[in-house]
Each structure stands twice: as structure tokens, then as C-alpha cells.
């Protein structure tokens, strides 16, 4: 799939392209040639390329595709840029944006890139700025075009006008040509790989040529398919058999046998290396062609969407986020002494507008706001099988196959959602080209979202304890006292309900002629999967994206404090090898604690994410001393309640400490008073030197203690003998009577 922010590189052909903007309807992209503009002061207007031409570039075996890594400053908030001491950057950015703001609308950008241009609009803008006497207003068209080109190339955000430069586009590492003894695998094992458990060798161009030969062998030839199903694991097996083993012949009794002996580890590639490079060689288009035998791939199909979708081309084109307060109270899981409630949670859901499938969800306890909506969007791009497993629910990939990055996102209009920063980060980090704060499609699409809440609320949650009845009876117990399901149980129930809905709802009216001819089911999931391959070229699978990038793109920015003993955030302490190597803890120890921007997925307390200025995504891990932390592998919502409970316990402990301290002080004063009474008749001691007879008096007191202890033992034994004499007679014989009788 071609998307904004895509970086297409072919070092052999000196091709380095950056996709700046796409028009799916025209199947055309605005592309910047990074080789041509390298070192240039002014960035030229992006050129137009058809999708078919870009796919032709990608089909080259040496071509790669990934999200372009813009400078980290483009995704920082104004506060974070100020903390870096670069306030002047913000002034320069805002000045430029004020001058070109009318040209930065989506309509004007499309007019500039794909249609007749904006020469007349620029001329009018110059006249208007001159009449308004705007300080520093430009007088030439070229200045406006240069600023607009920069705005488009750097992600179409306000931060695109910050005075930063494109990263070094030629940083791709060149692989050695042939296999040799000095092909050391790069990575976290050190320069010579000595710290890595795996001792496999580094990848060379010869290795990659052998992988491409394996793929070619597995393709169909003369109409005959070599293998009924293409799979990467099978390609790995064939590679290891053909290129990482040697044949030894043995002849016994004139019978020759061959035995294949695998290469030693240091002369082989690991399976992880093979899997990674196979995925680099095979883009999604090529993979599907090999796997399913498509000759005419669906990338050139005409747009078949009806007007009911209002510009939505297919599945994953537009996601809509909405939220509602559930009619249900949740049990607090950390206190089982009673049936306590955490309150009514807020359910956020993400809907794929085309198929109406629920692609993501999140359950929180505040909002509705962007903090919760962002968590749901991360979930929409996450593997649902792994997500369900966290809550003890087992599902298959086929039941909930939604883990794709959308082209556009629409959030329900409201003051609780910020705007500029979110749009900037989404564009620069993962290339989401549209972020809408008002519904841009017809009201019936909004009604679909509202019906989803009816399905979840009335279809499932209303029939379990803790639910709010539609018509409560007078004198009836408040449902908060009946809260039974805890957070994990509620999410597990919602997962089952969503899977049931996605795989059973009737969407017959949304099937187009191709879906009908393909004979797909009428459910949202069937429509989602069919459209993904037909209209969206397989979509953009988030599993292939860097996890830190996704987290940083969607989640709201928060602040953590670096101290000498860890990274403190919301009452929890985190640690990072990166922070230690970078000297953060040493800096905090000698110069005081300092703040850093972080992001968290509220579904999990174990990790925080931070983006460094060199574009590296760093994961901070929760400190877990001796595996005893009660917060490890927990969900943030109940943990935040527990942390508040801890604050209450600490407050009560301080009050109790005050009472005990006063009582202890009172007892000490009483002891002093009693001892002063005992020596009241003694003369005042005016001696300056050490008191005499200390050792002698110590021995005398010890002797008294021994006598006292002996008397206590004697008294205890006497009491026991006296008790024994009172025991009843249990039938003594005649001798007993004669000796002890009357």
C-alpha cells in the first residue's frame, strides 16, 4: 500500500523517494526525490507519480519500504521544545505558519499538487498580507512556495515549519558482497557479537541472492505450482537445506549413500535473520501474488465505493472513535474484605467506517477524552489474539483480524480533544494523513457507532450483576452494591461480545458486486477482510511497524521525573539501560532531578516509552525487585485506584503514628516522674567526675536479679506440686491405701 510518509529506497539504482501526499481516488502520490534535494536550501515541489510506477520501483529485489523517520523535534510538544531551550524555533514556526495558513488546507494542497495550481491564490495572499501590514510578510511568490513545499514534505503539520533538516537519507548500511569468515552479525551483541547468545554470521548480498533464488523456486512455473501454499517458514526450510548444509557420501559394500550435515552456527544465519530478510525482500503485494497466484493484482482496480461511504474507499481507510459511560458498576479487585465498586467505566471503541467492524476498544475511568481515545487507537493497531490472551480469552486471528494503521481518523467533536499536536504527531510518526474533529460523513455512519454501544450495553452488560436497570424500582438496592465483575472480567466479556458481533451482524446492504461475486459472508469481519485485499492492497499491517513508533504516534505525551535511583512516573519507578548508559541517573544525582516526555499504554503498567532526539524509541521497564512488585503486569486503571488507596493508608498511618508517639512520650514522662519521687530525699549530686562504685553496684544488682529469678522458679514449682495433690483418686490398689490411706 502506498501511504504518506513512506520511504522507498533502492541503493543499487540510487532511488530514495519520500511519499509526501497521496490521492487514493486518482491512484497518484506526491513524491520527493531525496537524492536530488540532499543539501538543498529550498525544497522543490513534490512530483506526481502513479501508484503503478511506485509499485514498479518496489518490485525491484533491492528495493525496501518503511516509514520515513523525521527529526524527533517534529513530534514534540511546545513545552518539550521549550525545555530544550529552543523557544526561537517556535517563534519562527508560528511566523511562517501565520503567513501561509490559508494555503495549508487540504483543499488548497490538492489544488496545488494535483490540479491547476494556486498562483492566483498566492498573489491575493501577498496583497492581503501587505494591506494588513503583517510584520515580516514576504513580498515574493517564491517565499510562499518554498514554505508550502516544506510544509508538505515534512508531514503537513505546523511543526513541519520548525528549522530542522531532513535526516541523512544515505544511512542504509551496505552489506558485504560475499560470504566470508569476517561477516560479523551486527546488533546488541557488541561489535564482535561476543555478548550475544546466538553466534550466527552477518547477512551478505550473497545470502540475499540465495533467498531470492529460493523464492523464485517456490513460484509457479508453466502453470504448475511448486508448493500448494507459500509460507516463509517453508522458504526458510528450503534455504537451510540447499545453502546451509553439505553432502557427505559414504560407500559401504559398493552402495553409496548421501548424508546432509548442517553448517555450524557461526557459518549460518539464524531463523530470525532469515525471517526478517525474507520480509524485507517480499513486500505485501509480491507476497500475496506468490501465495495466492494473482496475476492481475487489485492495485489497478477502479474505485467501486458507493456514495453511502462518502469518500471512504475501503476497510482501514477511516477509523472513527467514540465513547460512552457503561451502564454497569465494576468491582474493586484489590480488596476482598467486601464487595466494593470502582464506579462506572467509560468504554471507547474504534469503528472501521467501511465495514462497521469494531477494530479496537479500551475501558477507562475518566473522560471521554483523548487520553482514552488514544488507548483505543493503539488497541486498534494491535494484535487481538495477544490482547485477548492477556485477559484469559482465547481467539483466533480469523475471528478478529484487525491490526492495521488507518489512512484517516475521525474523533467525535468535543472540547476535551486537543488538535494541533495530535495531528502533527500522527502525520510525522506513522503517516496518518487525516485527523478529523467533526464528522465528515453522513449521519447514518454516526448512527452505526451509536448502535454499537446499544449492542454492548443492552445486548450483554445489562444481564449481569452491577448493571443499572432501565426502570429501577423504589427502595431497590443501588447497583453499585452488586458490583461483581472486576476490570479483567469486564474486558473479557466485552471481547467475547465484540467477536460475536463482528462475526454475526448482518451487513448484506454493504456488499458491492465484487463482494457478492466472491461469495463472502455478510458479516462485518468478512466485509473487512474482503475489502482489505480488494480495495486497500492488503492495508498497512501494524504488526510490521515498530511498536515504539505506534505507541509514540497515538498516545498523549506525559512527563516523568529522572532521579538518581530511577525514572519516577505516577507513583511507580522504572529503569532503563539506555538511561544508565546516557548518564541520566548520574546527572540527576549531581544536578538534581529533571523531566522527560514519556508515553504509556494504560493497558499495561510494565512499560513506558520515550523518544530520544536522535529518533530512537526507548522502552522503560517497571522496577521489580526480587519479583515482589504488586504492580508488575497490571492494568493502569485498577492500579491507579490502588495507589490512591495506598495514599489513604499512609495518611491513616501518619495519624496513628502521631497518637502512638504522644502515648509513648506520656509514658516516658511518667517513668521520669516516678524515679524522681524515689530519690527525692537524697542529697543533690554535684559530682563532676565519673560516679564511683559503678562496677560494684552492677555486680550487686546482678546478684539480686539471680536470687529473684530463683525465687520465681521455686514459687512456680511449688504451685505445680500443690495442684498435683488435688488430683482425684482413680482407684489405687491395697498397697496404696495402706501407705497413703487414712
Read off φ and ψ for residue 259, nearest 5 degrees. Answer: -130, 130
**What's the pLDDT band for 473 if we cut at 50, 70, 90?**
low
Q: Decide which of 477 and 394 is more confident.
A: 394
- With pLDDT > 90 as the criterion, what percentage of the chain qualifies? 12
372 and 436 share one domain: yes
Yes or no: say if 239 and 210 are a contact pair by the CB < 8 Å rule. yes
Domain membership of residue 739 (yes or no) is no
CA atoms within 13 A on the CB side of 1: 27
pLDDT at 441: 35
Our count of domains for the chain comes to 5
pLDDT at 290: 62
Q: How many residues does the chain have?
A: 742
pLDDT at 192: 59
340-357 pLDDT tens trace: 667 788 888 898 988 989
pLDDT at 308: 35
149 and 91 share one domain: yes
Closest CA to 569 of 598, 547, 603: 598
Please report, for residues 76, 336, 375, 461, 484, the alpha-carbon distance to residue 333 in angstroms, rounded to integers and kept in the order given.
37, 7, 22, 19, 10
Distance of CA 423 to the CA centre of its chain: 18
Q: What mean pLDDT value characterizes the chain? A: 78
Over residues 172-187, mean pLDDT: 63
Beta bridge partners of 467: 328
14 and 126 share one domain: yes
Please state, in angstroms and rounded to a whole number, the distance separating the CA atoms of residues 317 and 277: 29
Domain that residue 80 falls in? 6-161
415 and 449 share one domain: yes
384 and 501 share one domain: yes
Residue 408: pLDDT above 70? yes
Residue 440: Cβ-neighbour burial (10 angstroms; 0-12, 13-18, 19+): middle
Residue 440: pLDDT above 50? no
CA angle, 119 then 123 then 125, to 5°: 115
Please state, in angstroms and rounded to a whole number, the distance separating the CA atoms of residues 602 and 341: 20
pLDDT at 395: 93
Q: Decide which of 30 and 413 is more confident.
A: 30
Determine which of 44-58, 134-148, 710-724 has the lowest per-residue pLDDT on average: 710-724
Domain membership of residue 725 (yes or no) is no
Assign 33 to helix, strand or coil: strand
Q: Decide which of 212 and 418 is more confident.
A: 212
Angle between helices 106-114 and 141-153 (to 10 degrees): 100
pLDDT at 67: 84
Q: Decide which of 62 and 171 is more confident.
A: 62
**What's the pLDDT band for 17 if we cut at 50, 70, 90?**
very high
Among 494, 524, 550, residue at a domain's last position = 550
pLDDT at 374: 83
Read off φ and ψ for residue 368, nearest 5 degrees. Answer: -65, 140
Domain membership of residue 197 (yes or no) is no
Q: Decide which of 372 and 527 is more confident.
A: 527
Yes or no: say if 12 and 547 are a contact pair by the CB < 8 Å rule. no
The residue to which cell 541520566 is assigned? 584
pLDDT at 156: 87
Domain membership of residue 48 (yes or no) is yes
pLDDT at 229: 61
Domain membership of residue 507 (yes or no) is yes
The residue to which cell 546432509 is assigned? 260
Please state, in angstroms and rounded to a whole number, the distance separating the CA atoms of residues 604 and 606: 6
Residue 131: pLDDT above 60? yes
pLDDT at 514: 80
The residue to which cell 488514544 is assigned? 374
pLDDT at 712: 85
Please state, in angstroms and rounded to a whole number, the distance separating the CA atoms of residues 470 and 497: 20
Closest CA to 63 of 73, 71, 55: 55
530 and 625 share one domain: no
Please state, in angstroms and rounded to a whole number, the distance separating the CA atoms of residues 428 and 62: 26
CATH number of the domain at 451, please: 3.30.420.10
Closest CA to 157 of 74, 46, 66, 88: 74
Cα torsion angle, 545, 549, 550, 553, sign: negative
Read off φ and ψ for residue 300, nearest 5 degrees. Answer: -100, 10
Closest CA to 93 of 70, 123, 73, 119: 73
379 and 508 share one domain: yes
Over residues 587-595, mean pLDDT: 90
517-566 pLDDT tens trace: 888 888 999 999 988 888 787 888 888 877 778 777 778 788 899 998 89
Domain membership of residue 200 (yes or no) is no
Closest CA to 47 of 8, 21, 9: 21
Domain membership of residue 272 (yes or no) is yes
Determine which of 152-161, 288-297, 309-318, 416-425 has the lowest per-residue pLDDT on average: 288-297
The residue to which cell 532511488 is assigned? 15
Domain membership of residue 438 (yes or no) is yes
Over residues 375-391, mean pLDDT: 90
Judged by phi (left if over 0) then psi (alpha if -120 to 50, else beta), residue 293 lies in left
pLDDT at 28: 92
Determine which of 76-85, 102-111, 715-724 has the lowest per-residue pLDDT on average: 715-724
Radius of gyration, CA atoms only, the chain:
37
Assign 129 to helix, strand or coil: helix
Cα torsion angle, 717, 721, 722, 723, sign: positive
Q: Decide which of 24 and 180 is more confident.
A: 24
703-738 pLDDT tens trace: 888 888 888 888 888 777 665 555 555 444 555 555
**What's the pLDDT band for 481 if we cut at 50, 70, 90?**
low
Among 502, 527, 550, residue at a domain's last position = 550
Joined together, the cell numbers standing for residue 234 give: 517453508
252-301 pLDDT tens trace: 777 878 788 888 888 888 888 888 888 877 765 566 566 655 433 343 33
pLDDT at 403: 92
Residue 170: pLDDT above 50? no
Please state, in angstroms and rounded to a whole number, the distance separating the CA atoms of residues 515 and 122: 46
**What's the pLDDT band for 442 if we cut at 50, 70, 90?**
very low
Q: Decide which of 93 and 458 is more confident.
A: 93
343 and 407 share one domain: yes
DSSP string over 584-645: HHHHHHHH--EEEEEB--TT-SSEEEEE-TTS-EEEEEE--GGG--TTTT--HHHHHHHHHH
Among 504, 526, 550, residue at a domain's last position = 550
pLDDT at 468: 57
219 and 288 share one domain: yes
pLDDT at 166: 55
pLDDT at 358: 92
496 and 545 share one domain: yes
Please state, in angstroms and rounded to a whole number, the distance separating the CA atoms of residues 152 and 105: 11
pLDDT at 709: 87
Over residues 15-36, mean pLDDT: 89
116 and 157 share one domain: yes
596-634 pLDDT tens trace: 999 887 777 888 888 888 778 888 888 876 666 667 767
pLDDT at 607: 83
Over residues 434-452, mean pLDDT: 48
pLDDT at 328: 75
60 and 91 share one domain: yes
Amino acid at each position: 500500500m502506498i501511504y504518506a510518509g513512506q520511504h522507498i529506497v533502492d541503493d543499487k539504482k540510487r532511488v530514495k523517494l519520500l511519499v509526501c501526499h497521496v490521492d487514493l481516488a486518482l491512484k497518484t502520490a506526491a513524491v520527493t526525490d531525496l537524492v536530488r534535494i540532499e543539501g538543498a536550501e529550498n525544497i522543490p515541489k513534490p512530483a506526481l507519480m502513479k501508484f503503478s510506477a511506485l509499485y514498479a520501483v518496489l518490485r525491484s529485489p533491492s528495493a525496501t519500504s518503511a516509514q520515513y523517520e523525521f527529526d524527533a523535534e517534529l513530534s514534540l510538544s511546545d513545552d518539550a521544545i521549550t525545555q530544550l531551550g529552543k523557544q526561537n524555533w517556535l517563534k519562527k514556526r508560528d511566523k511562517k505558519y501565520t503567513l501561509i495558513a490559508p494555503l495549508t488546507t487540504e483543499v488548497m494542497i490538492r489544488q496545488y499538487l494535483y490540479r491547476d495550481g494556486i498562483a492566483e491564490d498566492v498573489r491575493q495572499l501577498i496583497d492581503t498580507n501587505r494591506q494588513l501590514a503583517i510584520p515580516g510578510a514576504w513580498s515574493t511568490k517564491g517565499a510562499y512556495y518554498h514554505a508550502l513545499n516544506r510544509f508538505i514534505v515534512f508531514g503537513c503539520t505546523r511543526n513541519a515549519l520548525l528549522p530542522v533538516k531532513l535526516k541523512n537519507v544515505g544511512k542504509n548500511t551496505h552489506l558485504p558482497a560475499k560470504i566470508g569468515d569476517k561477516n560479523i552479525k551486527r546488533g546488541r551483541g557488541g561489535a564482535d557479537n561476543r555478548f550475544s547468545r546466538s553466534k550466527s554470521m552477518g547477512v551478505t548480498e550473497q545470502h540475499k541472492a540465495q533467498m531470492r533464488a529460493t523464492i523464485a523456486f517456490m513460484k509457479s512455473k508453466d502453470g504448475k505450482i511448486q508448493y500448494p501454499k507459500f509460507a516463509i517458514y517453508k522458504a526458510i526450510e528450503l534455504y537451510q537445506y540447499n545453502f546451509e548444509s553439505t553432502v557427505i557420501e559414504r560407500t559401504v559394500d559398493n552402495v553409496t549413500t548421501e548424508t546432509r550435515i548442517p553448517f555450524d552456527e557461526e557459518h549460518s544465519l539464524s531463523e530470525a535473520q532469515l525471517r526478517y530478510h525474507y520480509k524485507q525482500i517480499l513486500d505485501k503485494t509480491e507476497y500475496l501474488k506468490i501465495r495466492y497466484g494473482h496475476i492481475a493484482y487489485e492495485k489497478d482496480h477502479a474505485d467501486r465505493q458507493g456514495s453511502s461511504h462518502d469518500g471512504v474507499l475501503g476497510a482501514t481507510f477511516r477509523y472513527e472513535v467514540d465513547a460512552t459511560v457503561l451502564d454497569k458498576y465494576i468491582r474493586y479487585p484489590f480488596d476482598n474484605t467486601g464487595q466494593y465498586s470502582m464506579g462506572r467505566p467509560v468504554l471507547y471503541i474504534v469503528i472501521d467506517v467501511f465495514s462497521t467492524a469494531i477494530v479496537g476498544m479500551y475501558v477507562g475511568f475518566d473522560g471521554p477524552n483523548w487520553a482514552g481515545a488514544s488507548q483505543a487507537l493503539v488497541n486498534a493497531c494491535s494484535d487481538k489474539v495477544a490482547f485477548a490472551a492477556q485477559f484469559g480469552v482465547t481467539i483466533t486471528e480469523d475471528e478478529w483480524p484487525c491490526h492495521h494503521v488507518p489512512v484517516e481518523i475521525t474523533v467525535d467533536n468535543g472540547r476535551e480533544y486537543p488538535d494541533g499536536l495530535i495531528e502533527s504527531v500522527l502525520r510525522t510518526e506513522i503517516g496518518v494523513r487525516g485527523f478529523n474533529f467533526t464528522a465528515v460523513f453522513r449521519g447514518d455512519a454516526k448512527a452505526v457507532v451509536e448502535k454499537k454501544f446499544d449492542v454492548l450495553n443492552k445486548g450483554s452488560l445489562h444481564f449481569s450483576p452491577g448493571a443499572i436497570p432501565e426502570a429501577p424500582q423504589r427502595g431497590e438496592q443501588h447497583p453499585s452494591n452488586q458490583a461483581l465483575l472486576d476490570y479483567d472480567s469486564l474486558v473479557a466479556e466485552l471481547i467475547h461480545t465484540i467477536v460475536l458481533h463482528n462475526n454475526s451482524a448482518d451487513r448484506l446492504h454493504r456488499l458491492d458486486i465484487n463482494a457478492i461475486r466472491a461469495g463472502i459472508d455478510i458479516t462485518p469481519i468478512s466485509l473487512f477482510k474482503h475489502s482489505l485485499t480488494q480495495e486497500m492492497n492488503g492495508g498497512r499491517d501494524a504488526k510490521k511497524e515498530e511498536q515504539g513508533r505506534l505507541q509514540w504516534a497515538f498516545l498523549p505525551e506525559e512527563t516523568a521525573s529522572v532521579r538518581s535511583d530511577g525514572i519516577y512516573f505516577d507513583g511507580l519507578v522504572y529503569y532503563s539501560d539506555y538511561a544508565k548508559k546516557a548518564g541520566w541517573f548520574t546527572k540527576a544525582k549531581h544536578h538534581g532531578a529533571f523531566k522527560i516526555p514519556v508515553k504509556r499504554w494504560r493497558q499495561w503498567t510494565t512499560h513506558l516509552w520515550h523518544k530520544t532526539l536522535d529518533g530512537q524509541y526507548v522502552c522503560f521497564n517497571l522496577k521489580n525487585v526480587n519479583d515482589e512488585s504488586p504492580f508488575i503486569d497490571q492494568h493502569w486503571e485498577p492500579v491507579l485506584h490502588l495507589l490512591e488507596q495506598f495514599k489513604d493508608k499512609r495518611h491513616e498511618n501518619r495519624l496513628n503514628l502521631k497518637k502512638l508517639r504522644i502515648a509513648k512520650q506520656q509514658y516516658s514522662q511518667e517513668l521520669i516522674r516516678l524515679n524522681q519521687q524515689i530519690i527525692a530525699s537524697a542529697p543533690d549530686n554535684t559530682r563532676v567526675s565519673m560516679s564511683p562504685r559503678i562496677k560494684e553496684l552492677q555486680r550487686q544488682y546482678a546478684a539480686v536479679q539471680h536470687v529473684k529469678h530463683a525465687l520465681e522458679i521455686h514459687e512456680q514449682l511449688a504451685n505445680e506440686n500443690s495442684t498435683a495433690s488435688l488430683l482425684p483418686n482413680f482407684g489405687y490398689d491395697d498397697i496404696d491405701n495402706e501407705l497413703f490411706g487414712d
